[in-house]
Amino acid sequence: MASHLVVRASPPFRVPQDSENLKGALTRELERELERDLAREMERESRALLDGPELERARSITQPAARDEFLAGRLAQRKLAAALLDVPASDLTACYSCPRCGTGAHVSHGRPGYLLRGAPAPLLLSLSRAAGWTLLAAVVDPEPGLRLGIDAEDPARTDFEGFDAVVLTPAERLDLAGLSGASLLQARARLWARKEAWLKMTGTGLQTAPDTVDVLAGGKGRTGLRDLPPAETGLPANLVAAVALAD
Ligand SMILES: CC(C)(COP(=O)(O)OP(=O)(O)OC[C@H]1O[C@@H](n2cnc3c(N)ncnc32)[C@H](O)[C@@H]1OP(=O)(O)O)[C@@H](O)C(=O)NCCC(=O)NCCS
């Protein structure tokens, strides 16, 4: 049976989904109070569900918003994994794989995975954060050798001098040469999302220089790499995303 890809977007935890209606009605102070409550609730849930190395990594993130986004992403990932495996989230132990540090419950960075009651859970996972959102991909009971990577990008974050030189191959730079303004940022983000999805799938991440990875449409040797439209991810239309699923 072909392995089935599941993609889920989880919204910024600070902004409730019906925030547009709420925002008009709430004063700034009430809004801040609501955010404090949400942050407290997330802290409580994190302490209850996340593992020691995950909490330790969260403590090492000094910027509060980045720390909140880290915790929100790890909670969303664990809940998705538990729902797909039909087990309580507390039965899972985070087990990451880093190309330098190895694999195990003591590793809190790299390719995500879980142990289920001590054995590797039959699940491929990938995670990306952009503009406060968490994008998750999963495959339950994957075929042997299958690997997965997902990435989301905010085009606004590609608006800096030197992006093309560091990130793009010569062919990609040529392809973007006629573009400017919003279309240039959109095209940069599209290529960047494809590269990161691919490099998460291979597991090397940015240890592989991104300007050596050609991801133009039709590029050779990138079977399983494709763009993900907002209708498939649930992300806002201004964000771009890509997934790589191959062996
Ligand atoms: C993977 C990478 C490209 C993602 O960078 P990013 O754009 O900043 O972040 P994103 O939000 O898109 O993705 C973050 C997620 O990527 C995943 N990830 C990190 N390294 C990964 C790897 N080697 N393979 C697959 N997935 C990886 C994790 O799930 C991470 O989530 P976490 O913060 O909850 O741990 C980048 O983090 C990277 O290159 N990491 C590897 C660097 C490395 O190996 N360093 C050695 C450390 S000892």
Domain spans of the chain? 1-143, 144-247
The tokens for 103 are 């694999």
Alpha carbons 130 and 157: distance in angstroms, whole number: 9
> How far apart, in Å, do the first and last CA atoms of the chain sit?
15
Question: Do 1-143 and 144-247 fold alike per CATH?
Answer: yes
Verify whether ligand 1 is closer than 6 Å to residue 124 (CB atom). no
Verify whether ligand 1 is closer than 6 Å to residue 173 (CB atom). no
Strand partners, 102: 98
- Compute, in angstroms, the gap from residue 110 CA to the centroid of ligand 1: 5
Q: Is 237 exposed, middle or buried (0-12, 13-18, 19+ CB in 10 A)?
A: exposed
pLDDT of the chain, 247 residues: tens digit per residue: 457 999 999 998 765 555 556 666 667 778 788 888 988 999 999 999 999 999 999 999 999 989 999 999 999 999 999 999 999 999 999 999 999 999 999 999 999 999 999 999 999 999 999 999 999 999 999 999 999 999 999 999 999 999 999 999 999 999 999 999 999 999 999 999 999 999 999 999 999 999 999 999 755 678 999 999 999 999 999 999 999 999 8
Topology annotation, domain 1-143: Ribosomal Protein L22; Chain A (3.90.470)
- Compute, in angstroms, the gap from residue 135 CA to the centroid of ligand 1: 13
Q: What is the pTM of this model?
A: 0.93
Of the CA atoms within 13 Å of residue 119, those in its CB half-sphere come to: 1
Angle value at C-alpha 7, between 169 and 150, nearest 5 degrees: 25
- Strand, coil or helix: 98: strand
The tokens for 242 are 């890509």
> Within 10 Å of residue 166's Cβ, how many Cβ atoms?
10
The superfamily in CATH containing domain 144-247 is: 4'-phosphopantetheinyl transferase domain (3.90.470.20)
